[in-house]
């Protein structure tokens, strides 16, 4: 169990919520593992199929505490709320602010700034940990400098299109040296290719970016935001624009580092992929299951959140950022604290 930003996250398998006076009790295998006074909570998020008793649900509803249910893998199932619909006010603020070009540009620059800063951190970390030869070091150091320059350009961009231009150029810089971060000679990488992925590394990146988008969308729905109305990515039917916005700052830290880890630790091999014509490279089904298991294990690793200064599992990063974004949109925070790791 984790208590973060007045939200109780129930992560323990077989945990069951029940009412205990004016408190919520978390029961695990017939023992009470935790009690939290209901007035200390704004929301509860359960990553378990065990669920909650009718009494616990009524307690949450009566006190305006949102109760959300997700599968253990993070698939959003649904939410319960009482008569006070905080989501209505939050979503009205979201819709209103999404029409504000100045605010949308500001948030867009934060999302992309976080992405670029985290890409720089990945490159600098590689130099620090692996000490590559002089030529590679020079290439990566040059990329780090160029990314710093692009970060400095962001405050001077006045439209979403200009910000996306900076994002595209920065991505080319980063992925231009990404091949040097791959230490396993089985795998090669030339450039980012999405549809279709033209090599094994791109197949891995695309596969786990999809997982990240899923997690971010579930996080946004859990806190009451509309995942389909964004600030940087334009609205299109069926496109979770806000999920795409929020995942920008998380791509490098959550996905790129994970993909590099499984490749460099030789937890995956070239024969774990198949080539299907126009569909490009695909991960074999049995390998997918193994990778998903590693991904779920990685999400249990604990870090100290740079803004909250609290220890949280990596898997809760999308939820922490979604909550912080909702607080900014409600006016509870002066600015949105983008996730940047140094």
Mean pLDDT calculated for residue range 9-21: 89
Helix, strand, coil abundance in the chain, percent, nearest 5: 55, 15, 30
Can you give the CATH number for the domain in which 64 is found?
A: 3.100.10.20
- Domain containing 299 equals 92-330
336 occurs within a structural domain = no
Q: Are residues 124 and 33 in the same domain?
A: no
Please calculate the CA angle 85-43-37 and round it to the nearest 5 degrees: 120
pLDDT band at 91 (very low <50, low <70, confident <90, very high): very high
pLDDT over 70 at 82, yes or no: no
249 occurs within a structural domain = yes
Q: Are residues 53 and 99 in the same domain?
A: no
273 occurs within a structural domain = yes
Kindly write down the DSSP assignment for every residue of 160-179, as one continuous string.
HHHHHHHHHHHHHHHHHHGG
Last residue of a domain, one of 66, 84, 102: 84
Can you give the CATH number for the domain in which 155 is found?
A: 1.20.120.920
Q: Which two tokens stand for residue 278?
A: 């126009």
Read off the pLDDT of residues 103-145 as tens digits, 9 standing for 90 and up.
Answer: 999 999 999 999 999 999 999 999 999 999 999 999 999 999 9
CA distance 245 to 250: 10
pLDDT over 70 at 16, yes or no: yes
335 occurs within a structural domain = no
Last residue of a domain, one of 84, 107, 134: 84
- Helix orientation angle between 134-153 and 160-177, rounded to the nearest 10 degrees: 170
Cβ 268 vs Cβ 192: under 8 Å: no
126 occurs within a structural domain = yes
Please tell me the pTM assigned to this model: 0.82
Q: Any idea which of 173-187, 222-236, 250-264, 272-286 has the lowest mean pLDDT?
A: 272-286
Q: Smallest Cα–Cα separation from 5: which of 332, 278, 334, 342?
A: 332
Mean pLDDT calculated for residue range 199-205: 95
CA distance 147 to 208: 24
Q: Could you count the other beta carbons within 10 Å of the beta carbon of residue 261?
A: 12
Read off the pLDDT of residues 207-220 as tens digits, 9 standing for 90 and up.
Answer: 899 889 988 988 99
The domain tally of the chain equals 2
pLDDT over 70 at 286, yes or no: yes
């Amino acid at each position: 169990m984790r208590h973060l930003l007045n939200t109780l996250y129930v992560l323990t398998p077989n945990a069951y919520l029940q009412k205990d006076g004016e408190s919520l009790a978390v029961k695990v295998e017939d023992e009470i593992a935790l009690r939290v006074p209901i007035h200390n909570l704004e929301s509860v998020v359960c990553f378990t199929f065990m669920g909650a008793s009718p009494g616990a649900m009524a307690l949450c509803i009566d006190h305006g505490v949102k109760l959300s249910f997700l599968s253990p893998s993070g698939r959003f199932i649904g939410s319960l709320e009482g008569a006070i619909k905080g989501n209505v006010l939050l979503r009205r603020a979201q819709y209103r602010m999404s029409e504000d070009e100045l605010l949308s540009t500001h948030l867009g620059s934060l999302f992309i700034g976080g992405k670029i800063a985290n890409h720089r951190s990945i490159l600098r970390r590689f130099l620090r940990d692996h000490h590559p030869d002089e030529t590679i070091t020079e290439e990566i150091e040059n990329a780090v400098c160029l990314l710093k320059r692009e970060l400095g350009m962001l405050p001077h961009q006045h439209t979403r299109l200009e910000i996306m231009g900076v994002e595209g150029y920065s991505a080319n810089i980063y992925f231009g040296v990404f091949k040097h971060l791959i230490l396993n000679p089985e795998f090669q990488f030339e450039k980012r290719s999405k549809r279709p992925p033209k090599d094994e590394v791109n197949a891995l990146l695309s596969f786990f970016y999809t997982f990240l988008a899923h997690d971010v969308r579930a996080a946004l729905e859990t806190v009451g935001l509309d995942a389909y109305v964004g600030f940087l990515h334009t609205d299109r039917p069926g496109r979770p624009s806000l999920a795409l916005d929020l995942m920008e700052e998380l791509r490098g830290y959550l996905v790129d580092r994970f993909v590099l880890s499984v490749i460099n630790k030789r937890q995956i091999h070239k024969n774990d992929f198949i080539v299907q014509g126009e569909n490009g490279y695909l991960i074999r089904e049995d390998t997918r299951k193994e990778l998903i298991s590693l991904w779920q294990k990685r999400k249990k690793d604990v870090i100290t959140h740079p803004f909250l200064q609290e220890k949280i599992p990596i898997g809760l990063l999308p939820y922490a950022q979604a909550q912080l974004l909702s607080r900014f949109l409600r006016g509870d925070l002066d600015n949105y604290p983008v996730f940047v790791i140094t």
